[in-house]
Amino acid sequence: MSQDNGTKAKETKGLTAKGGTGRASAKTGAKMNGWQRFVKGLAAIPQRIRKSVLNTVAELKKVTWPTRQALINYSLVVLVFMALLAVIVGALDLGASALIKLIIRV
């Protein structure tokens, strides 16, 4: 038995030498020009948007949402952390301003 390394299988699937399926040339008898590809892509935008929204909804259904109490706790942690950072940045800013004033006086 000879080995064909799957070349016959690729030929029967309709693959072209460039790796495409050749469907556009089979349907229309010629390759699509740039304008036709543009119009086809433009027409596909609503389907792509719909698919994206459906995928987003499906992913949101998989999310484990926190309980009300956990959400309140997480929010408080974030607020305290932000207040602490505001105090630190404010202190650094005051220190830098004082240092600049000392340098300018000299």
Of 4, 24, 5, give the one whose Cα is nearest residue 14. 24
Q: What is d(CA 79, CA 90) in angstroms, rounded to the nearest whole number?
A: 16
Other beta carbons within 10 Å of 49: 10
Tokens of 8: 């016959």
Give pLDDT, residue 35.
87
**Residue ranges in the chain whose pLDDT is less than 70:** 1-29, 106
Taking the domains of the chain in order of start, what are their residue ranges?
7-63, 65-106
**pTM of the model as a whole:** 0.45
* 66-86: pLDDT as tens digits: 999 999 999 999 999 999 999
Q: What is d(CA 97, CA 90) in angstroms, rounded to the nearest whole number?
A: 10
Give pLDDT, residue 41.
87
